[in-house]
Amino acid sequence: MLIGPDSCFCSTICWPPNPLLWWPPRLTILLSGPAAGRFNPLTPMNDPAFFWLNSVRLATILLTLLLAWGTYRSHLLLKEFQPPFNLLLSLPESLLRLLLVGLCLGLAWLSGLPVARFGLLSPQPLQSIGLGLGVGLVGQVTVNGLTQWAIHRFGRKIYSPLVIRNILPRRPAEWVWVALAFGPAVAMEELLFRSLWLGLFQELIPLPLLIGVTSLLFGLMHQPQGLLGVITAGGLNILLCLLFAGTGELLPPLTAHYMINLLQIVAASRQREWLENYEYH
């Protein structure tokens, strides 16, 4: 659905005579124009499509800030308390992630934009999955090598294993549940940072700048893994954004993201003793 179609043009709109009162609504409308793919400075302020699209944009920003705050609080808690269970398998956490997946899909629907804008269509899903698996494999091998090099080069303070320690499967039976639990976690992050952020803001913000902003946010949300985790996550976000922009689909970056996370757990399980004895303070 386009915002501000030609049929909405109305020459009878009366602007406030005072320029100081005229400017704020004018600015708001000018900023909303690119969302329609056209420039129409007289889009009515009471257009329902205009209202819902910008409400969804605001909700996306607030949701991101809320998740960032929650991540920071969790980081502080993990420094003081080591839970006796796998954090990834916590029922409340799993239900919350599923709720957030539904919320992201709901926001996409409320925006009134075509589903293709959010990458929710995949004409050739098997090909998209294959591409995602390949990118994920290369990405994880690269990240693993860079992680080992960075720790050796800059010291152990650059990385914190708090998160990985608390999501490693503790029994063979947990592997299946961990693999399943990664699904909603990855889907939530991809829907937020790829579908919503790129889909909603790409016509308001130049794509390179938008990718930079989302990479900064995505990196900071991985702050519990230390400075190296922030940098690595930010770099991976750039890769996933380019994959989304290049294919126009969510499935390839979602698959790549899932593959990276799963392989990270597999690699960490082979270094369990090293992680348990890791000193990063």
Evaluate if residue 8 carries a pLDDT over 80.
Answer: no
For residue 24, is pLDDT > 50? Answer: no
Crossing angle of helices 226-247 and 251-269, rounded to 10°: 150
* Whether pLDDT at 22 is above 80: no
pLDDT at position 137:
97
Determine the Cα–Cα distance for residues 238 and 252; give it in Å rounded to an integer: 14
For residue 30, is pLDDT > 70? no
Q: Where residue 92 falls among pLDDT bands split at 50, 70, 90?
A: very high
Residues 6+ apart with CB under 8 A from 68: 217, 220, 221
d(CA 133, CA 13): 53
CB-based contact 64:44 (threshold 8 Å):
no
Q: pTM for this structure?
A: 0.81
**pLDDT tens for residues 98-118?**
999 999 999 999 999 999 999
Burial of 242 (0-12, 13-18, 19+ CB in 10 A): middle
For 114-125, write each residue's pLDDT tens digit.
999 999 999 999
CA distance 98 to 186: 11
Contact assessment for residue 180 and residue 86, using Cβ atoms and an 8 Å cutoff: no
User: At a CB cut-off of 8 Å and minimum separation 6, what does 150 contact?
Assistant: 158, 159, 228
For residue 281, name the pLDDT band (cuts at 50, 70, 90).
low
Neighbour-count burial for 87-121, b at 16+ CB within 10 Å, e otherwise: ebbeeebbeebeebbebbbebbeebbbeeebbbbe
Which residue's entry shows tokens 């690699």? 267
Asked if 215 and 146 touch (Cβ cutoff 8 Å), the reply is no
Which tops the pLDDT comparison, 235 or 46? 235
pLDDT tops 80 at residue 37? no
Split at pLDDT 50, 70, 90, the class of 87 is confident
**What's the rounded mean pLDDT across residues 16-33?**
42
Q: Which three-class secondary structure state does DSSP give residue 115?
A: helix
In 3D space, the residue among 203, 202, 187 whose CA is nearest the CA of residue 242 turns out to be 202
What are the helix (H) ranges across the chain? Answer: 19-32, 48-80, 91-110, 125-154, 162-167, 174-190, 197-201, 207-220, 226-247, 251-269, 272-276
CA distance 28 to 33: 9
Through-space distance between the first and last CA atoms of the chain, rounded to whole angstroms: 52
Specify the pLDDT at position 74. Answer: 83
CA distance 237 to 245: 12
Residue 44 pLDDT more than 80?
A: no
Torsion of CA 229, 230, 233, 237, to 10 degrees: 180
What is the model's pLDDT at position 280? 63
